[in-house]
A and B are shown apart, each in its own frame.
Chain A
Amino acid sequence: MSEDLSTLIAAVEQADSATALVGAVRALAMAEHVEAIPTLIEVLGYNNPGAAVAAVDGLVRLDQAAVPALLAHLDGYNYGARAWAIRALALIGDPRALGVLVEAASQDFALSVRRAAAKGLGSLRWQELPPEQIAPAQTQAFNILLQGCNDPEWVVRYAAIVGLQCLATDLGTPDLPLSPVKKLQQQLQHLSRQDESPAVQARAQLALDHLTSTPSPLVGPHGGQ
């Protein structure tokens, strides 16, 4: 490890105030060094939102290099830390995270975790998967996100809509059968009229507007055929 990097890591470990910690984590994140990864992941569990944002930023800068450690060190006991790690995985978009995101979106008890996972499921870099795995992976994400539209927490339903909009816009395969298209439109129409939260109604309306004005393999005059 270079001397500079050791100094940056030591500054994180020795920060004596919340503000000093944020500054130290930012500096370490800017170094964009793979050896910073364990320290950045540890910071996600410090219950300091400023430092966590900086650590997520650093992990996202490292992109694929950060993914194995993030997957290996998901904190099963600290949902705050888990939500930040899922957010980092979602922002990176590496499809190796699919299984973890599916589990987090559908089963985690913490709404901040389900929310971050739902967003991530819509924006994975599908083209990095072997071609034959793309359609089944997208279908799996699609079904989990449709379920997320019935989550009891408004913010999870909101995130599921964002994920679905992104997924529907992004789908590169025209192979999906027609039924998911119909389900998506029905679900968005239902949410835009019936959801108990006006914010969710508005987001569903925005997704519908977006999907009907953008040529998309999923939604459109010949969608999904």
Chain B
Amino acid sequence: MIEPQKLVNAQGESFTVDQAIANLRQREDPSLRYYAAWWLGRFRVTKAAAIEALQEALSDETDRSPDGGFPLRRNAARALGKLGRSESVPALIQCLNCADYYVREAATEALGALADGRAVSPLLTLMAGGVEAAVLVPGKPHLVQPYGAIIEALGQLGDRQAIATIEPFLNHSVQSIQNAATRALYQLTGEAHYGERLVHALRAGDLQQRRSALMDLGAIGYLPAADAIASATAENSLKLIALKGVLEHELGQPPHSLSADSQRVMALMDSLL
């Protein structure tokens, strides 16, 4: 890991863990607080004082965006998702009721990353009303809830009670939500037809859809997709990230002994560099 003490801040000054925590705690300069929250997540600072300050920032009232959002809360939630500490789970669950869509989305992603079962039922609550309720907010570029993130998190959490709620979203009108549902259902059921549905999406006419399918296949580590990923019409960078996900799923826990399949995936990756 990179030594946080050796890094510099946006102004080119050296920046220590204690300064970052102090910057997050002070109330005069919102931009310093915003940056400090990101920094603590980026450099995986798991000191108790950092966790505490980030959790406090989840209920910040001072930093408001023009549309009424809470930028600092969003960054704090993202950071807590990276720190992997289960004591943050209750505070993040509280954020699922925040009026700011992007705070709910960031908290959902963090809860997915923390993989704590306590998040399952609060996340399912956000999906109340099913596909019929999953509509655009008038005048906004997003739906009433961050469904894609919620469904992905439920897939990561691995609780099969989510299956029945997610299934109808295979037919949601937004393609990326269909993909999220497909990916989560693969993770929850292990059924290959869900993986194949994402492989099929790699041939979509729209580049954004192909990119999103690549990320989904990497996230679930679906080995039979390796060749289709390598030959998809998309940037090599994204194909490499997807194949990395497939490889790391195949490798399992260290120490790694390299299976024939692992070596085959690496050969594909080598050819895309």
Known: A202-B247, A202-B258. A49 touches B263 (CB 8 A): no
Total residue contacts A-B, CB cutoff 8 A:
65
Whether B244 lies near A206 (C-beta < 8 A) is no
- The verdict on A50 contacting B256 (CB below 8 Å), with A116-B273, A158-B269, A198-B251 known, is no
Cβ–Cβ < 8 Å partners of B251 in chain A: 198-199, 202
Q: Does A69 contact B (CB under 8 A)?
A: no
Q: Chain A nearest CB: distance from B71 CB in Å?
A: 26
A115: Cβ under 8 A from any B Cβ: yes
Number of residues on chain B facing chain A (CB within 8 A): 24
B98 within 8 A of A: no
- Docked complex Cα distance between A214 and B129 (Å): 62
A117 to chain B, nearest CB (A): 10
A80: chain B residues at CB < 8 Å are 235
Is the Cβ of B273 less than 8 Å from the Cβ of A115? yes
User: Does B205 lie within 8 Å of A162, measured CB to CB?
Assistant: no
Complex formed: what's the CA distance from A16 to B141 in Å?
28
Q: Are A19 and B248 in contact (CB under 8 A)?
A: no
Q: Select which of B207, B240, B244 is within 8 A of A18 by beta carbon.
A: B207
A contact residues, total (Cβ < 8 Å): 31
Distance, CA A197 to CA B273, complexed state (A)? 17
Instruction: Given A119-B273, A155-B240, A206-B266, check contact A198 B207 (CB 8 Å).
Output: no
Q: Smallest CB–CB gap between A124 and chain B, Å?
A: 15
Q: What is the distance, in angstroms, from A80's C-beta to the closest C-beta of chain B?
A: 8
| B residues adjacent to A (C-beta < 8 A) | 1-2, 205, 207, 233-237, 240-241, 244, 247-248, 251, 254, 256, 258, 262-263, 266, 269-270, 273
List 14 A-B pairs, Cβ < 8 Å.
A49-B234, A49-B235, A80-B235, A87-B236, A90-B273, A112-B235, A118-B273, A158-B273, A199-B248, A199-B251, A201-B256, A202-B247, A202-B266, A205-B256
